[in-house]
Amino acid sequence: MTEQNSCRVLIVGAGSMGLVVGYILSLAKAEVTFLVRPHREEELKRPQVLYSYDDNQLKTYTDYKHITDPSKIIGADYDYIFVTLDAHALRSEVGLSLVKMIGDAVRGTQTKVVLATAFIDLRSWFIEVSGISGDQVTYGLLLIHAYAPRAVTLPLHEGTDSTLLEQADQAYRDTLGPGFIVDDSSPAVAEGFAELYNASGLSTCVVMPAAQLAVFGIPLFPVFAACDLLGWPKYEEIDSMGEVWNLAVEAAREIQGLSILGEPGQKAAATITGTGLAAQFAGMEKQMLPLDYSAFNKYHHGGKVNVQDRELLNACVSYGEAEGKTMSALKELIKRVESQ
């Protein structure tokens, strides 16, 4: 489609996810603008260097614009607004006013919104706060694992070019099948975005039923909490019979059983096992190499600093309690993470 050549995308946030997705969309000939806080401006004035763990090459990303004033999005008529802020930032006071501003910019236009913020039922919340029509908003999950090598040094594994990695602003691994998944809560938005993303030729995007995506994504969080309690062992060394791992399995089962996750959730809850879950993570760990998956997760999900993960788990407790469930394993897991 030739009209994609002029597709205009605003990416909210220029962290690892924003920059990698921006690079991919730029390969699809989209015109990308980042909305960033003023302190990030200096950094974005120079090209961004990306290291790919997939081909061990550096990529230089120059072809983007940036703005720091959120009110500039009003009337800008982007084709897509892609939100990458974490759930804590998005639901903070500053985040709320930004969501309302996005609402003002999008209502009554053709602009579509893709939310790539990990949280339960985020799309409903976003639609309510922004006042945007549901058929303009879809939810997505980035399967590409990206981080800033200057912010954290991960253990090196054979196959990584450490000299190149050191020169990079961002590093990423795109090996889990699709690089991005959008759910079908707004099918037209999802299909259009997947088509644009696929046009990059570098990474692919698939559309998945909303409940299925939630069932895939949200139960990862009790596992991260358990890994934090266990001190981030390698997944292949997890004691899948251990007490903490069992707690994570029970908590994941409680989350999968939430009515919001529908039938796919019920099915997953009926079949999840400790050994199965451990094998799933060990498999991902292997596939991620030479990126160290456990150390990557430790950086993104480790420690008490990780407020957004705890907010997500607490929100799952609230959803469960509203359905009359005890959510006792999940509550116990949260308690242990908070008191460690």
Ligand X SMILES: *[C@@H]1O[C@H](CO)[C@@H](O)[C@H](O)[C@H]1NC(C)=O
Binding map of ligand X across residues 258-297, x = CB under 6 A, - = no contact: ----------------------------------------
CA proximity to 173, closest of 290, 63, 276: 290
The span of 2-10, 189-197, 281-289, 310-318 binding ligand X (CB under 6 A) equals 189-197
Q: What is the largest CA-CA distance in the chain?
A: 56
HEC string of the chain? CHHHHHCEEEEECCCHHHHHHHHHHHHCCCEEEEECCHHHHHHHCCCEEEEECCCCEEEEECCEEEECCHHHHCCCCCCEEEECCCHHHHHCHHHHHHHHHHHHHHCCCCCEEEECCCCCCHHHHHHHHHCCCHHHEEEEEECCEEECCCCCCCCCCCCCCHHHHHCCCEEEECCCCCCEEEECCCHHHHHHHHHHHHCCCCCCEEEECHHHHHHHHCCHHHHHHHHHHHCCCCHHHCCCCCHHHHHHHHHHHHHHCCHHHHHHHHHHHHHCCHHHHHHHHHHHHHHHCCCCHHHHHHHHHCCCCCHHHHHHHHHHHHHHHHCCCCCHHHHHHHHHHHHC
Shortest CB 172 distance to ligand X, Å: 18
Shortest CB 181 distance to ligand X, Å: 10
Task: Establish if 249 lies at the interface with ligand X (CB under 6 A).
Answer: no
Task: Pick from 206, 229, 279, 295 the residue near ligand X by CB under 6 A.
Answer: 206
Nearer to ligand X, 31 or 191 (CB): 191
Ramachandran category for residue 201: left, alpha or beta (phi over 0 → left; psi -120 to 50 → alpha)? left
Task: Pick from 191, 284, 295, 310 the residue near ligand X by CB under 6 A.
Answer: 191
Nearer to ligand X, 197 or 296 (CB): 197
- Do residues 225 and 309 lie in contact, with contact meaning Cβ atoms separated by under 8 Å? yes
Shortest CB 148 distance to ligand X, Å: 28
Nearer to ligand X, 13 or 140 (CB): 140
Task: Establish if 205 lies at the interface with ligand X (CB under 6 A).
Answer: yes
Task: Pick from 84, 111, 138, 198 the residue near ligand X by CB under 6 A.
Answer: 198
Nearer to ligand X, 188 or 241 (CB): 188
Task: Pick from 31, 41, 121, 195 the residue near ligand X by CB under 6 A.
Answer: 195
Task: Pick from 26, 68, 204, 266 the residue near ligand X by CB under 6 A.
Answer: 204
Task: Establish if 194 lies at the interface with ligand X (CB under 6 A).
Answer: yes
Task: Establish if 186 lies at the interface with ligand X (CB under 6 A).
Answer: no
The span of 23-31, 53-61, 188-196, 281-289 binding ligand X (CB under 6 A) equals 188-196
The span of 13-21, 129-137, 150-158, 193-201 binding ligand X (CB under 6 A) equals 193-201
The span of 39-47, 131-139, 203-211, 306-314 binding ligand X (CB under 6 A) equals 203-211
Shortest CB 197 distance to ligand X, Å: 7
Nearer to ligand X, 144 or 205 (CB): 205
Shortest CB 316 distance to ligand X, Å: 30
Residue 303's CB: how many other CB atoms inside 10 A? 12
Residues constituting the chain: 340
Nearer to ligand X, 144 or 225 (CB): 144
d(CA 130, CA 146) in angstroms, rounded, equals: 28
* Number of residues near ligand X (by CB under 6 A): 7
Interface residue list for ligand X (CB under 6 A): 191, 194-195, 198, 204-206
